[in-house]
A and B are shown apart, each in its own frame.
Chain A
Amino acid sequence: MDSASAPFDSALFPEGVKRCKFKWFLFWLAVLHGPLMVGVIAMLMCWGLALHVTYLNNNYPFGLWIAADLGIIALGAGAFFTGFLRYIVNIEELKNIVNYAVVIGVVCYAAAQGILGVDIGQPLRGWFIFWHANVHSMLTEVAFCITCYFMVLCIEYFPLILENRQINKLRFFHGMAHHLHGAMPTIAAVGVFLSFFHQGSLGGVPGVLYGRPFAYREGFLVWPWTFFLFILSAIACGPCFTILVTWITEKCAGKRLVKRNVIDILAKISGRLLVLYLVLKTLDTVYWVAIAGKAGAPLSSFYANQPFGYWVLITELGILGVIPAIILLNAKARQNENILIIACILNCTGIFMNRWIMTVQALAVPVMSFDKFISYRPNWVEYASTLMFVWLGAVVIMLSYRYLPIFPQEKELNPS
Chain B
Amino acid sequence: MSTTEEKEQTVAENEQEKGGDEQAAEVAPVKPGTWRFLIPIAAFALGFMSHFSLGWVILPPILYAEKQQPIDFSHKLHVDEVGDCEGCHYFREDGSFSGIPELENCAECHEEAMGEDPEEAKLITEYIEPGKEIPWLIYARQPQCVFFSHAAHVKMGEMDCAICHGPIGDSDHVRPYQYNRLTKYSRDIWGWNIAGLSKNGWAYLKQADNSGEIKIEHAARMKMDDCAECHMEKRGVHEACFVCHK
Direct contact of A and B (CB under 8 A): yes
State the A residues within 8 Å of B (CB): 150-151, 154-155, 158, 172, 176
Asked if B4 and A154 make an inter-chain contact with CB atoms under 8 angstroms apart, the answer reads yes
Measured CB to CB, the closest approach of chain A to B5, in angstroms, equals 6
Measured CB to CB, the closest approach of chain A to B114, in angstroms, equals 51
Provide the residues of chain A in CB contact with B12, threshold 8 Å.
Answer: 176
Provide the residues of chain B in CB contact with A158, threshold 8 Å.
Answer: 5, 8
Provide the residues of chain A in CB contact with B5, threshold 8 Å.
Answer: 154, 158
What are 11 inter-chain pairs, A to B, with CB distance below 8 A? A150-B4, A151-B4, A154-B2, A154-B4, A154-B5, A154-B8, A155-B8, A158-B5, A158-B8, A172-B16, A176-B12
CA distance A375 to B154 in the complex (A): 55
Provide the residues of chain B in CB contact with A154, threshold 8 Å.
Answer: 2, 4-5, 8
Measured CB to CB, the closest approach of chain B to A258, in angstroms, equals 27
Measured CB to CB, the closest approach of chain B to A127, in angstroms, equals 13
Is chain B's interface secondary structure helix, strand, loop, or mixed overall?
A: helix
Closest B residue to A110 by CB, please name it: B2
CA distance A410 to B8 in the complex (A): 30
Provide the residues of chain B in CB contact with A172, threshold 8 Å.
Answer: 16
CA distance A158 to B4 in the complex (A): 11
Provide the residues of chain A in CB contact with B16, threshold 8 Å.
Answer: 172
Closest A residue to B7 by CB, please name it: A151
- Top 6 A-B residue pairs of the complex, sorted by shortest distance between their CB atoms: A154-B4, A151-B4, A154-B5, A158-B8, A158-B5, A176-B12
Per-residue A-contact encoding for B4-18, CB less than 8 Å = 1, 0 else: 110010001000100
Closest B residue to A157 by CB, please name it: B5
CA distance A231 to B183 in the complex (A): 44
Measured CB to CB, the closest approach of chain B to A226, in angstroms, equals 30
Measured CB to CB, the closest approach of chain B to A176, in angstroms, equals 7
Measured CB to CB, the closest approach of chain B to A148, in angstroms, equals 11
Per-residue A-contact encoding for B83-117, CB less than 8 Å = 1, 0 else: 00000000000000000000000000000000000
Closest B residue to A154 by CB, please name it: B4
Measured CB to CB, the closest approach of chain A to B96, in angstroms, equals 30
CA distance A155 to B9 in the complex (A): 11
> Assuming A151-B4, A176-B12, what are 9 further A-B pairs, CB within 8 angstroms?
A150-B4, A154-B2, A154-B4, A154-B5, A154-B8, A155-B8, A158-B5, A158-B8, A172-B16
CA distance A154 to B9 in the complex (A): 12
Within 8 A of A (CB), among B10-29: 12, 16
Closest B residue to A151 by CB, please name it: B4
Measured CB to CB, the closest approach of chain A to B241, in angstroms, equals 11
Chain A CB count within 10 A is highest, among B2, B5, B12, for: B5
Closest A residue to B16 by CB, please name it: A172
Closest B residue to A150 by CB, please name it: B4
Closest B residue to A161 by CB, please name it: B5
CA distance A155 to B4 in the complex (A): 9
Measured CB to CB, the closest approach of chain A to B57, in angstroms, equals 26
Provide the residues of chain A in CB contact with B4, threshold 8 Å.
Answer: 150-151, 154
Measured CB to CB, the closest approach of chain B to A262, in angstroms, equals 29
